[in-house]
Structure 1
Amino acid sequence: MNRRIIPLIMCGGAGTRLWPASREVHPKQFLPLFGARSTFQDTILRVSDTSLFERPVVITNNAYRFMVLEQLAEIGIEADVLLEPMRRDSGPAIAAGAAFAQARDKDAIVLALAADHVVRDTPAFLAACREGLVAAETGNIVTFGVQPERAATEYGYINPGDVIAGKVRAVAKFVEKPDPATAAGYIKAGYLWNSGNFMFRAAVLLDEYRTVDADSIEAVGRAVSKASSDLGFVKLDEAAFGSAKSISIDYAVMEKTSRAAVVPVACGWSDVGSWHAVWELSEKDKEGNAARGAAVFEDSRNCNVVTDRALVALEGVDDLVVVATQDAVLVSRQKDANGLKRLVAKLKSVAPQVTEDHIRVHRPWGSYQSVDNGDRHQVKRIIVKPGGRLSLQKHHHRSEHWIVVRGTAQVTVNELVKTVHENESIYIPIGAVHRLENPGKIQLELIEVQTGSYFGEDDIIRIEDDYRRT
C-alpha cells in the first residue's frame, strides 16, 4: 500500500464547554489537560508516521494562527496552515481542506480529525486508519465508530450495516443524541458512537457535497483558488468563503450520502466535551478524586479539581467539579454539562470578558498579564520569546516604565536604541515611538508600570509590525 493519507486537523473551535480553563481566544485544544502537551499536539503526533501520513494540513482562524505555529514548533512538526476568515462550521472547513489537499494531489485521501479529541490507544487508532484507507480508496466516505463504553447520551450513534471490506461496514443510519434508555437499547443492538472524524478521497467528498449544495462547494473552491499567503499562512479568500452555507459536515454530507461507511474502533476515544469527561480520563485516588494542581480532599468522593494557582481544599462533598483560574472559579455538579452551557451563555451577557480571555493574554511574540490596576496606573508582567519583537508603537494616554527581571531587552525610544539588562529599567514617555524586542536565547521577562488616564489596548497605535497587525 503506497498511498499515504493527508491529515486535516480541524482547529478552529472555541471550546467553552471547559470554561473557565478554556476561553474564546485560548480554547481547549491548546490546553495541556492531561500532561505536558495539548490535545492539538497529541493529535498531530498521532498522525506523524511518515510511512502512513503525509505533511498535515491544519485549518484554524486568524486568532489562533500563532498558537498553532508555536505548538507545532514545540513538537518539531511542520504543517500547511489554512486560515478561515470566519467560522462556517465543519462542512465548509472540511470542504476547504479537501480542495486544498486535492490541489496538492488530485487523488488525495484525507483524514479529517478534530484537534480537541483524546485517543488513549494510538496503535488501535492507526489500525483503524489502515482499515479505513482501503475503503476510502474505493470511494467510500469513512467515519470512525467508537465501541461504546457506556450508555452515553452526549454522543450521536451509528447503526452499522452490511460488510464492505474487512471490518468496514456500510452506515445503515446516523441517529441523534439519545435519552439514557434509548442509548442502552442502541448498545444492545450493536450501535457505535459517532466520533465525528472522517476519511475520504478529496474528490469523492467534494462531489457528494456538490450534489446537495453546489453553491457552497463553488464558493469554497474559489476561497482556495484565490487564497493568499501571509507570513507563511494560507488565507482563504474572505468574500468567497463567507458565501458558503454554515453547516456541519454531518448534516451537509454524511446523513445524505449513500457512500457512508464506518470502521469500528476501540481506541480509548473521547471528545472531552465536559469536565466530567476530563474526570473520566484523569488519574484518581482511591476515593475517585482527580486533581490537576494543588488540591486536598477530606471525606470527599468522585470530585475533580483543576487549579493553576490557588490551593483548593474540599471537605464533605461528592461529585463536584472545581476549576480555579486566576480570574474565575467554577463550582459545578459533575454530570450536568448542559448546566455549564447555560451558565456560560449567562456569563456572556453579564461578564463577557471572563468567557473571552484569560488574565494571561497570548500574543505572537509571547504574553502579558495584568497584576495590578488602579485609576491612574496598571502593572503588567510581560514575557517575550527569544527573537520576539513587539510592534513599533506609541500611546496617546499613558507612559510606561519597564523593569527587566530576566533576560536582555533591546528597547527603541524615538531615536534611541538601548540594551537593558536584568535589574535595569527604562522610561517611555507619553507619545514616544517605542519598541521592545528580545535579542537573546532565553525568555525576556519584565514588569511594565503604566501611568496615565486610559489603559485600553486600543490606545496602541502600531506604526510597524512583524505580524501585520497595523
Structure 2
Amino acid sequence: MTNIILCGGSGTRLWPISRSLMPKQFVKLFLEESAEHKDKKSLFQLTVERNSKVCKSQFIVSNTEQYFLALDQLEELGKTNNKYLLEPVGRNTAPAIALACMQLDYDEIVLVTPSDHLIKDEKEYEKVLKKAKEFAKDNKLVTFGITPTFAETGFGYIEASPANGDSSLVNGMDVVNFHEKPSLDVANEYLETNNKYTNNKSTSYYMWNSGMFCFKAGVFLDELEKYSAEIYNTCKTAFDNKKIDNSTLRIQHSHMEAIPDDSIDYAVMEKSDIVKVIPSNIAWSDVGSFDALYEELPKDKNGNTKNDKHISIDSKNNLVYGSDRIIASIDVEDLIIIDTGDALLISKKGSSQKVKKVVEKLKASNSQLHNIHQTAYRPWGTYTVLEESAGYKIKRIEVKPGSRLSLQKHFHRNEHWIVVSGTATVTVGEETRLVRPNESTYIKMGEVHRLENQGKIPVVLIEAQVGEYIDEDDIVRISDDFKRE
C-alpha cells in the first residue's frame, strides 16, 4: 500500500503560526517524548510515521516550496526512497490524486491522507485501515467518516446507511450523500438523527468527512474518467508531458493550469456507486483552528498551554504560543495569545475561525505577513529578516554544509555580505574566492553572484540589502541546483 500525502493548503486559520511558505503541516508543534530526549514534530512528520507502519512507501504531492520542507523533515525521520509530485499551481484534490495514481500500477492500493491531521488512537486507526484495504481489494472506493461528538459547522458531513442491513457500524456503510458545512441548527439535527439511529429509529447516520481515502489506483482513475472525463483527460495530458528527475515528477505549468479545479468529493465520490464509508473512532482532529489546537496541546494546572516563556498571574484556560519573548498574562481567561515576533494575535476562544478575515485584510494591503515568517526556509538553509525599512533590509543567512544558492542577479539592489562563522565560497562575476569570519564582500546591482558552503559546518553571514526595491521577487536565477524558476 502506498500513502499519497497531500501537502497543499496554507492553513490560514492558524495565522500567524502558519504562513503560505510555512503552512501548519510543517510547523513543529507536537512534543514527542522519549527516554533520551524530547523533540517537537510537525503534523507532516507524524503523518509519515503513522502511515509508514502500514504503507510500504510515501508519495508526496506538493508545490515547489513545500517540497523542500518535506525533504528536510523526511530526512530528519530517516525516510528515504520517497516519490514526489510537484504541482506548479494547485488544482484541488481530484487532479492531485489522479496524477499520483497515474504513476502507480493499476492494482496498487493507495491510502490518500492530508498531511495536517492528528490521529491519536493509532491501534484503532490500524484496525480501520485493515477493513478499508479489504474493501479496496474488492474494487471499492473507501472513505473514512469520523463519528461526531458535537455539532461542528466547520466540517463537511457524510450521510450513510447500513450495508446489507448491518447497522452495527463495524463493517462499513453505504454512502447516501455528501453534505457541505452545515449551519448550527442542521448540525444539531445530524446529531439527533444519529441518536435515533442508535435506537434503531433511523436508517441514516452522519459523520464528519475526514478527507482520507483508500482504493486501487486504477479503480479510482476508471471512476474519474467515467464521471469527470475532462479532469481525467487533462490530467492524462499533463502526466504524459511530465518531467522526471530521479523520483520527482514535475508537471508543466501550462498543462497544470488546463486541468479543472475540483475536489475528489465533487469529481468522483459523490457520483460513484462503489463508495463505502467506514465509521472511524480514531481520536481524529484536523487541527483547523486555534480552538482545536488548544484541545491537543499539554496544559498546566490552570488550563493554560505549557510554555516556558509564559508568566501567568491568575490566568486560566488560555492558549499561549511564543518562543522568543516573555509573555505575561494577568487575570485573563479563555484567550488565544499567539506571538511570532513579527505578528501578535489576540482572540477570544471560540472566535478563532475569524482569523482568516485577518489574512484577507493582510492580502488586501499587500503585506507579506500572510506569506512568510521572519525566518524563511529554503532548500539550501534559512534566512531571517533582522530589520527592514524603506530602501534597506538586513538578513541573517545560514547555508547548510554542501549547499549553495542559485547563480543569480538583482536589478534593484546592492548587497553587502559579512561572514560571521564558517567559510563561504563566493562567486561575483568571473571571480570566485573564500570569505572567512569577519571578512566581507560587495555585490553591485546587476552583477551575477553565488554563495556556497563547501565546508562541514554551517556558514552564517549578515546580508545588508540597499536599493529602491528590496522585495524577494527581485531575483533572476541563471542556474539553480534545485530547479527553481
TM-score of the superposed pair, with normalisation by structure 1: 0.91
Aligned-pair CA distance for 1:231: 7.0
Aligned-pair CA distance for 1:283: 0.8
Label 1:400 to 1:53 Cα distance change in 2 as closer, same or farther (>3 A).
same
Which residue of 35, 47, 69 corresponds with 2:71? 69
Task: For 1:266-345, list aligned pairs within 5 A.
Answer: 266-292=281-307, 294-345=309-360
Structure 2: gaps (5+ residues): 32-39, 198-204
**Structure 2 SS opposite 1:310:** coil
Output the CA distance in 1 between the equivalents of 2:137 and 2:404: 47
Q: Cα deviations across residues 292-349 of structure 1 (Å, max 9, x unaligned)?
A: 5621222222210111322222222222111111211111121124322222222221
Aligned-pair CA distance for 1:457: 3.3
Output the CA distance in 2 between the equivalents of 1:58 and 1:316: 46
Determine the structure 2 residue equivalent to 1:152.
Answer: 152
Task: For 1:34-73, list aligned pairs within 5 A.
Answer: 34-35=30-31, 36-49=40-53, 52-73=54-75
Instruction: Let me know the Cα RMSD of the aligned residues.
Output: 2.3
Does residue 185 of structure 1 match 2:192? yes
Determine the structure 1 residue equivalent to 2:113.
Answer: 113
Determine the structure 2 residue equivalent to 1:81.
Answer: 84
Q: Cα deviations across residues 147-200 of structure 1 (Å, max 9, x unaligned)?
A: 333332322233332247962222233333331522432442453222110001
Label 1:308 to 1:393 Cα distance change in 2 as closer, same or farther (>3 A).
same
Aligned-pair CA distance for 1:354: 0.9
Determine the structure 1 residue equivalent to 2:131.
Answer: 131
Output the CA distance in 1 between the equivalents of 2:161 and 2:246: 47
Does residue 354 of structure 1 match 2:369? yes
Output the CA distance in 2 between the equivalents of 1:463 and 1:80: 27
**Structure 2 SS opposite 1:148:** coil
Aligned-pair CA distance for 1:440: 1.9
Structure 1: gaps (5+ residues): none
Does residue 379 of structure 1 match 2:381? no
Label 1:113 to 1:450 Cα distance change in 2 as closer, same or farther (>3 A).
same
Which residue of 180, 185, 189 corresponds with 1:176? 180
Output the CA distance in 2 between the equivalents of 1:72 and 1:247: 29
Does residue 363 of structure 1 match 2:378? yes
**Greater CA deviation, 238-247 or 25-34?**
238-247
Does residue 31 of structure 1 match 2:27? yes
Aligned-pair CA distance for 1:230: 4.3
Partner amino acid, structure 2, of 1:80: K
Are the aligned partners of 1:274 and 1:337 in contact in 2 as well (CA < 8 Å)? yes
Which residue of 221, 232, 242 corresponds with 2:257? 242
**Structure 2 SS opposite 1:456:** coil
Does residue 95 of structure 1 match 2:98? yes
Aligned residues: 461
Task: For 1:246-265, list aligned pairs within 5 A.
Answer: 246-265=261-280
Determine the structure 2 residue equivalent to 1:142.
Answer: 142
Are the aligned partners of 1:223 and 1:238 in contact in 2 as well (CA < 8 Å)? no
Are the aligned partners of 1:216 and 1:243 in contact in 2 as well (CA < 8 Å)? no
**Structure 2 SS opposite 1:457:** coil
Aligned-pair CA distance for 1:207: 1.9
Output the CA distance in 1 between the equivalents of 2:99 and 2:473: 33
Does residue 209 of structure 1 match 2:243? no
Which residue of 6, 10, 33 corresponds with 1:10? 6
Aligned identity (percent) is: 41
Determine the structure 2 residue equivalent to 1:226.
Answer: 241
Label 1:354 to 1:375 Cα distance change in 2 as closer, same or farther (>3 A).
closer
Label 1:93 to 1:453 Cα distance change in 2 as closer, same or farther (>3 A).
closer
**Greater CA deviation, 284-293 or 30-39?**
284-293
**Greater CA deviation, 354-363 or 267-276?**
354-363
Are the aligned partners of 1:293 and 1:306 in contact in 2 as well (CA < 8 Å)? no
Output the CA distance in 1 between the equivalents of 2:447 and 2:231: 49
Output the CA distance in 1 between the equivalents of 2:172 and 2:334: 39
Output the CA distance in 2 between the equivalents of 1:133 and 1:341: 37
Are the aligned partners of 1:231 and 1:467 in contact in 2 as well (CA < 8 Å)? no
Are the aligned partners of 1:153 and 1:183 in contact in 2 as well (CA < 8 Å)? no
Label 1:437 to 1:281 Cα distance change in 2 as closer, same or farther (>3 A).
same
Label 1:263 to 1:379 Cα distance change in 2 as closer, same or farther (>3 A).
same
**Greater CA deviation, 226-235 or 440-449?**
226-235
Output the CA distance in 1 between the equivalents of 2:362 and 2:442: 39
Partner amino acid, structure 2, of 1:112: V
**Structure 2 SS opposite 1:100:** coil
Output the CA distance in 2 between the equivalents of 1:293 and 1:84: 39
